[in-house]
Amino acid sequence: MSRVCLFPGTFDPVTLGHTDIINRALPLFDKIIVGIGLNPAKAPMFSVEQRMEWFREIYKNESKIEVHAYDGLTVNFCKTIGANFILRGIRFVSDFEYEKTIADANRTLDKSIETVFLTVEPRFTSVASTIVRDILRHHGDVSSFLPAEVIRSLKQ
């Protein structure tokens, strides 16, 4: 059985924290599917197409990475794509408490899907999409928070 992992999130925008988790998870899985969740309760700054394009550009030379958009329950999307793992990044203890609650709910819904937590490198703990969006709105410098591919596209 191959180890297929879903890394779900809104990724609005894609940050160095996101790519840190993906890069360190690569040796653990046969395939990582980045799942951009479509959440009607959120009004994203960037289109889902833009966010997908960023991941495709960042990982254009990595055959183990795919990018898809999805809506509905994450465990249902896992079934659709054949993922038996969900990958989540943890920055702080408070993240763990929140993420564990979701992992417990997902395990109740489908016992065959295991959630794997990776802690973010310490230098990326302050990198949150919410903060990056706020800096962008106020025309601040986000270069230390975002991958080069994202920065290039923002300058266009």
Would you say 145 is a known binding-site residue? no
Catalytic one of 56, 64, 129, 144: 129
Would you say 139 is a known binding-site residue? no
Dig out the tokens for 124 from the structure. 């990326």
C-alpha R_g of the chain: 15
Catalytic one of 56, 64, 91, 107: 91
Confirm whether 42 is a catalytic residue.
Answer: yes
Three-state secondary structure along 36-80? EECCCCCCCCCCHHHHHHHHHHHCCCCCCEEEEEECCCHHHHHHH
E strands present in 65-128: 65-70, 85-90, 114-119
Would you say 90 is a known binding-site residue? yes
Would you say 74 is a known binding-site residue? yes
Confirm whether 129 is a catalytic residue.
Answer: yes
Would you say 101 is a known binding-site residue? no
Confirm whether 91 is a catalytic residue.
Answer: yes
Catalytic one of 42, 60, 123, 152: 42
Q: Which residues are catalytic?
A: 18, 42, 91, 129
Residues of each annotated binding site for substrate: 10, 42, 74, 88
Residues of each annotated binding site: 10-11, 18, 42, 74, 88-91, 99, 124-130
